[in-house]
Amino acid sequence: MTYADHSYRSADDRLDLYARIYDGDGPPLLMMHGLTRNSGDFEVLAGHLAGTYKLIVPDQRGRGRSDYDPDPENYTPAVYVEDMFALVDGLKLGTMGMIGTSMGGLMAMMMAARTPDRFSSLILNDIGPAVEATGLARIQTYVGQPAVFDDWQQAADHCQAVQSDNMIGYGAQDWMAFARHTCEETSEGKIRFAYDPAISEGLSGSEQTVIPPDLWPMWDTLSALPVLVIRGALSDILSPVTVAEMKRRHPDHFSAVDIENRGHTPMLDEPAALAAIDRFYAEFGQ
């Protein structure tokens, strides 16, 4: 499925940022990736939904084709949220749905809590108002670590070594596709991860500085919004206890599904994930 390249200015008017736009006849969906990822993560899901929906799939600042920020203190969800409002305002979008993976899901919750009338539905991929400390500690061990690979096979092997516990059943072709979605080729012909290593500076503090504090009150403000939670059955970030509490506080228009053989995070190309998304949009429209 083809897409159009879209460039726009960051909310602070300091950076050129990038998004893929997939045209469609239906309502818009804003799709936001996780901490170290980029718009390429959504290629399969975008191919599944494009045509039915208008898809807006950005690279957050410091990722993919968006500019790196010379001030690492700006690598925070609060700043990314302002960039997202700049993006959707510039596109003059009306009411829209949101899909957020991990960090992108935190951003989606923040955005919906701030302007609830602007958003019609929310899909959260392996994230909720509480984040498990063990998973956060694991992520801190590898984000921003210097890594330059001689070729794509070496990059794929590294991705497998780091993520194999989260992607049970992946084969050689899957790991190569994973690497090509998360890495880029340098001008010297080497391969590196497609993000600014400085994003790790936002993870160097306590859990309270990494994750916006006390998200449960914010979650409570979203009680009127249809929500689908997709959880990796092996996730060390989103616990079943958290999902149960999300449902208790949000009993109406709430559904959740576990994706077998996936940790943090499902890729949203799994048949069970695609089926859950289709059911959700069939019921709520977007």
Using CB atoms within 10 A of its CB, is residue 87 exposed (0-12), middle (13-18) or buried (19+)? buried
Beta bridge partners of 193: 183
Distance separating alpha carbons of residues 108 and 104, to the nearest angstrom: 6
DSSP line for 108-164: HHHHHHHSGGGEEEEEEES--SS--HHHHHHHHTTTT---EESSHHHHHHHHHHHHT
**To the nearest whole percent, how much of the chain has pLDDT over 70?**
94
Q: Which tokens hold the place of 236?
A: 């060390």
pLDDT on residue 202: 61
Residue-wise pLDDT for 57-101, tens only, equals 999 999 999 999 999 999 999 999 999 999 999 999 999 999 999
Rounded CA gap, 97 and 52, in Å? 13
What is the mean predicted confidence (pLDDT) over 262-286? Answer: 94
Which pLDDT value is given to residue 208?
38
Let me know: does 180 contact 38? Beta carbons within 8 Å: no
Where in the chain do CATH 3.40.50.1820 domains reside? Answer: 4-140+205-284
- Please choose, from the candidates 50, 67, 64, the residue with its C-alpha nearest in 3D space to the C-alpha of residue 4: 50
Q: Model-level pTM?
A: 0.94
Q: What sign does the dihedral 50-54-55-58 (CA atoms) show?
A: positive
Quick check: 188 pLDDT over 90? yes
Domain 4-140+205-284 architecture: 3-Layer(aba) Sandwich (3.40)
Instruction: Give the three-state DSSP class for 31.
Output: strand
- pLDDT of 210 above 60: no
Report the helix count and the strand count for the chain, using DSSP H and E: 10, 11
